[in-house]
Amino acid sequence: MGGFVPFGADKDKIAEELSGAVKFPTVTLQDGNAKGGAVFLEFQKYLEKTYPLLMSKAKKVQINGYAVIYMIDGSDKTLLPSAFLAHQDVVPALEDNWEFPPYSGEIHNGYVYGRGAQDMKAQMIASLHAMEQLLKSGAVLKRGAYFCFGHDEELRGDQGAAKIAEYLEQNNVKLEYVLDEGGAIVDGKMLGCKGKLALIGTCEKGYADIILTAESRGGHASMPKKRTALGTLSEAVMDVELSPMKSYFASPVKEMFKELAPAMPFPMKLALVNRDILSPILRFVLAKLHPVANSLIRTTFAPTQMKGANVPNTLPSVATANINVRINTGQTVEDVVKHIKAVVGRKISVSVDEGDSPASQVSSTTSNAYKNLRDTICTVFGATVAPYMFTAATDSGRYYGLTKNVYRFTPFDLNAEDGSRIHSANERMDINALAMGAEFFMTLYKNTLL
């Protein structure tokens, strides 16, 4: 594989393309039906107008109303196609302190502002822009390319990604690899390394919402009882926070630190080389180092919601709290429930909300697909690359029936402050990083599709 030769992404053009995409308020459909869904179809019309050459060569398949696949066949039918994922939907923009209206797509001081500018229309636009330019250059794909865009990733992908994967399986499609959002380019300091790191998600944690319920006699708030439902529940939530499950190195994390060891300072490198002997000390250090490091070595508990009475002067007879759980590879929802029950005791009811999912399979790091992805990242970004366990959930988890090579990587070098804007006010995308993302996709296409 040769050195990095940029194709020279037109920053102004790709910024305008992302700006146009952000203007469509493709908020996740909460009820899964047609109400509000027309905007997704309008958004697809925008994509088809913006990338005419790509779309002229692609077969469009509408899935379950609003999800979509754009399929470009390759000239060599012996080669399995590759799939590039993104989700059309965005979370609501409920905050009131936006610098610019959240669906304005404002371009200001080198950024595109708006809901979805990062999560994840930037990756979608970068992938399509690069393919449009590649086809304009006269390139002919040997390996097919499928662009698969769900419409409910923010609600776990049951109606979008799951239906896309089901359609492909029913049509006996097998894929060489899948690439979705996930691991990012990060400052190595959060894992004790020097320089930039690029992390490829080879798996993702399991997911569960655990509901804690406390009951007590209600009444008027002017005459509180010694133990109220909400007070008892609050103590239980605090106990869960203070009683994490035991940390351990799951197999993908062991592999990650094996790859990162050369980039680490001597004390940490020594500890990693002797990981089995020094495991307790190493896990203690990592847990204190950074929330990202801590999340890689344990199942995490995050209290996110609590509900009591509907009015402020009434004691609730029932109080509930939600603990959002991301489950480490090697543990199960049943393990989590057993642990939390032991922590909160018999006064608290523990149940699992709908939509839980186990930790995913672990994708290969010895496949040609992984090696090509790793080499492309090294070439374009000059970062130390390592596999890792993605701590959130993506649409890509639905595709393991189509390939064992499912990878999660977001090709944007962003600062921590911009990264924190995802799902928050003033979400924005750095235009220089967006253009480099297109360069990444162009290089990946040349390395794997031509």
Q: Which residues are catalytic?
A: 89, 153
| Angle formed at CA 201 by CA 141 and CA 250, multiple of 5 degrees | 145
Do residues 194 and 380 lie in contact, with contact meaning Cβ atoms separated by under 8 Å? no
Residue whose tokens read 């609501």: 92
- Neighbouring residues of 84: CB distance < 8 A, sequence distance ≥ 6: 127, 145, 146, 147, 148, 179, 441
Q: What's the rounded Cα separation, in Å, for the pair 237 and 113?
A: 37
Q: What's the rounded Cα separation, in Å, for the pair 156 and 141?
A: 32
Do residues 213 and 352 lie in contact, with contact meaning Cβ atoms separated by under 8 Å? no
Q: What's the rounded Cα separation, in Å, for the pair 33 and 285?
A: 48
CA distances from 145 to 69, 79, 177, 422 (A): 10, 11, 10, 28
CA-based nearest residue to 345, from 420, 250, 223, 237: 237
CB atoms within 10 A of CB 195: 11
- Helix, strand, or coil here: 329? coil
DSSP letter for each residue of 172-228:
T---S-EEEEEE-EEEGGGGT-SSEEEEEEEEE-EEEEEEEEEE---EETTS--SS-
Q: What's the rounded Cα separation, in Å, for the pair 259 and 273?
A: 11
- Bridge partners of 294? none
CA-based nearest residue to 61, from 181, 179, 170: 170
